[in-house]
Chain A
Amino acid sequence: MFLSHEVKDPSSSPGLSEPSGPAGFQERAQSIEAQQVRLLYAQVPTGLVASVLNAGITVFVLWNAVAHPVLIGWFALIVVVTLSRFMLVRMYRRAAPTADCIHLWRTRFIAGVAAAGIVWGMAGIVLFPPESIAHQVFLVFILGGMAAGAIATLSSVMPAFLVFFLPTLLPITLRLLLQQGDWVLTAMGFLVLSFAGVLFIAARHLHTSIAESLSLRLENLDLIHSLSVGKEQTEHANQQLAESNQALSAAMTEARASEERFRSLSAASPIGVFQTDAEGRCVYTNARWQEIAGLALEESLGDGWNRAIHPEDRDGVRAEWLTSTRVGREFSCEFRMLTPKGEVRWVHSRAAALRADSGAPLGHVGTVEDITERRAVELMKDEFVSVVSHELRTPLTSIHGALGLLAGGLLGPLPEKGQRLLDIAVNNTNRLVRLVNDILDVERMKSGKITMQKQVCDAAALMTQAADEMRVVAEKAGIPLVISPQSAQVWADPDRIVQTLTNLLSNAIKFSLPGATVRLSTKSQGEQILFQIEDQGRGIPADKLESIFGRFQQVDSSDSRKKGGTGLGLTICRNIVQQHGGRIWVESTLGKGSTFFFTLPAPPR
């Protein structure tokens, strides 16, 4: 029963765990002992019945040979011991003890068996009929039979067998051997002794067999358990494998769809696409790339892309490629491609590194855009701007000069209205000059024609120079100009930063009422220097804080007329600051004033 229970619930029995190390073997021994004790208790009813039955037969046979009170007293003892053992069995069954407390029940059982053995052994003394040889033989037969029967019921636990076996046979054996003068009894004593020896050997064999059998059974159960666990694990692994297969299948389907999507996108792309391996050899180009380069797919692979670059640009492109690869930045370069037919095409190529999860380089993926037409338009525009600039400036110089000479009174005094009209003409000529200058600046910056001549500069010197340039204008407007020159080194083009500062100061003065203060200061911010131009003017609405940096975007569209600005000053400032790697922005409160900020980098170490 316990075993079957243990099979259903392996965790409840320590005997079913895999023995590993001393603790495992101890558990296994404890489990075998538990099974042996359970076997004892299981066979008790048979033994009790046999005991009472044999005791009754003994009393009946010896009724006329032994004194009745002795017989009745002995039988009563048998009954008491039997009942006690019966009660013990009932208690045991109710307790249903687990393996770890089985030892107590084993001890109790041995005590009960010992009591039974003693009472049966007493029979060899107190019920021995000295006069009747037939009754003596009967008594020897009964006690021998009880001892023999104990092999079947008690040999699973040798101490239990011995505490019954020895007390049962020892008294009668001694009685027979010590009976002097009667050789028949002495012979019977030796017979009992040899019989006891045989019984003991048989009991030992049976005990060993039972122990081995139980051990084997437990091992089988362990094996079954292991197989069961293994089966569960295998089923679980199979299930996981099936799920993995399903996920893999879905991923492959997705990958195929993705690849198909990429192929169709790449094939239809208006931009050339290419991929290289880690050594820079081309492994893929799309149809557009081949069309731009005038090469077939096979010709474009490997080193083909290098041959497609115009020979005059090859070294430059190679240098830029190596630099961007070395410093780990995106490759971006405009150069010419020369087709096998001799056609020259301007392209803009960009490429980014492909890396494995480990960071190891896998190659590059990039694009090539045909900008031949755009370059032509830009060239035309540049020429146009240059020509317009010069052609506008020449008559402007004449107009400006002529009006200036007249307005300056060098040719004599003019009527008041005439003087006023000349002043208007001079002011607007000045504005036109500024506008032409600013347009030219913006266009050149946009096309990258202006490069910043960066050098180490002192922020305080730049501020002082800008403030000096604006001092006259500020005094004329009644605006105190307060500068807090703080010596800090910046990495900048001094002319362009002074241009930025004078632009911002000019705005601050223009939009302040007389008496309001304009402040210029700097602050060190780690690797950057922050410039601040603060005014107490009318302020800028929140929705215009960003847009005023756009071309011809002013807070009020009439500002350019009223304040004489061109609407390009902040655009130029933003371009200059951005080309220095800095940032420009404004914070403002309507009616209280605005503060323009811009940052410049500290010199590289």
Chain B
Amino acid sequence: MATAKRILVIDDEDDIREIAQISLEMSANWQVVTASSGNDGLAKARAEQPDAILLDVMMPDMDGPSTFQKLQADVTTQHIPVLLLTAKVQAMDRRRFADLGVKGVISKPFDPLKLANEVAEILGWHS
């Protein structure tokens, strides 16, 4: 497994946020920062400078893709790799998200025991 990383999880669902946090902390010993909205996530990304961001797609006010675009527009956050968390499982949706420039897409529901591994694999942290 990769060395300790800082991960920002942005999701409006408290339970999912918590499960993702427990999963990443306990299975990979990563540090996890959470945000409950797009705006909250933007602020924490700037402040915490995480190694990666797990970003939910469907959120009220500002959804995942919009948040991602703002992250990309900000010079302090545009270097941070972003992975989308989504319940949309259609191949077309996945392609659309990939076209935005995100590093990867992880389907919900995710396997909590494999989540860290999946993130590391997508971002090439194993090597």
Contacts and interface: CB of A to CB of B under 8 A. Distances in A.
Given A389-B87, A405-B23, A450-B90, A410 B15 contact: no
B47 interface: no
Given A394-B13, A453-B92, A401 B110 contact: yes
A496 interface: yes
B42 interface: no
Interface string B1-41: 00000000000010110011011001100000000000000
Interface of A: 389-390, 393-398, 400-402, 404-405, 408, 410-411, 429, 433, 437, 440, 444, 450-451, 453, 493, 495-496
Interface string B69-105: 0000000000000000001011110010000000000
30 contacts: A390-B87, A393-B108, A394-B13, A394-B87, A396-B109, A397-B13, A397-B16, A397-B87, A397-B108, A397-B109, A398-B19, A400-B112, A401-B20, A401-B109, A402-B19, A402-B112, A405-B19, A405-B23, A408-B112, A408-B113, A410-B22, A410-B27, A410-B113, A411-B26, A429-B109, A433-B109, A437-B89, A444-B90, A450-B90, A493-B91
Given A405-B113, A453-B92, A493-B91, A394 B27 contact: no
A453 B16 contact: no
Nearest to B86: A393
B19 to A, nearest CB: 3
Given A389-B87, A397-B16, A397-B87, A405 B109 contact: no
Contacts of B13: 394, 397-398
B92 A450 contact: yes
A433 B87 CA distance: 10
B60 to A, nearest CB: 12
Nearest to B26: A410
Going nearest first, the 6 A-B pairs with the smallest beta carbon separation are: A401-B19, A398-B15, A397-B109, A393-B87, A400-B109, A495-B91
Contacts of A400: 109-112
B22 A405 contact: yes
Contacts of B27: 408, 410
B58 interface: yes
Chain A CB within 10 Å, residue with most, of B26, B91, B95, B109:
B109
Nearest to B14: A398
A398 B16 contact: yes
A450 B88 CA distance: 13
Given A397-B19, A410-B22, 5 more contacts: A389-B87, A396-B109, A401-B19, A402-B19, A408-B112
A440 B93 CA distance: 14
A440 B111 CA distance: 20
A404 B15 contact: no
A390 B16 CA distance: 13
Interface of B: 13, 15-16, 19-20, 22-23, 26-27, 58, 87, 89-92, 95, 108-113
Nearest to B111: A404
A496 B15 contact: no
Nearest to A402: B19
B18 to A, nearest CB: 8
Chain A CB within 10 Å, residue with most, of B27, B89, B112, B113:
B112
B87 A401 contact: no
Contacts of A451: 92
Contact of B91 (A394, A401, A453): A453
A389 B19 CA distance: 20
Nearest to B13: A394
B111 A496 contact: no
A410 B114 CA distance: 12
A402 B89 CA distance: 21
Chain A CB within 10 Å, residue with most, of B19, B23, B111:
B19
Contacts of B113: 404-405, 408, 410
Contacts of A495: 91
A429 B20 CA distance: 17
A397 B110 CA distance: 7
Contacts of A395: 15
B90 A394 contact: no
Contacts of A437: 89
B114 to A, nearest CB: 9
A515 B19 CA distance: 39
Contact of A401 (B58, B90, B112): B112
Contacts of B19: 397-398, 401-402, 405
A400 B115 CA distance: 12
A166 to B, nearest CB: 124
A429 B111 CA distance: 11
A397 B107 CA distance: 10
B12 to A, nearest CB: 9
Contacts of A433: 109
A437 to B, nearest CB: 6
B38 to A, nearest CB: 17
B55 to A, nearest CB: 15
A401 B108 CA distance: 10
A433 B95 CA distance: 22
Given A401-B16, A402-B19, A496 B91 contact: yes
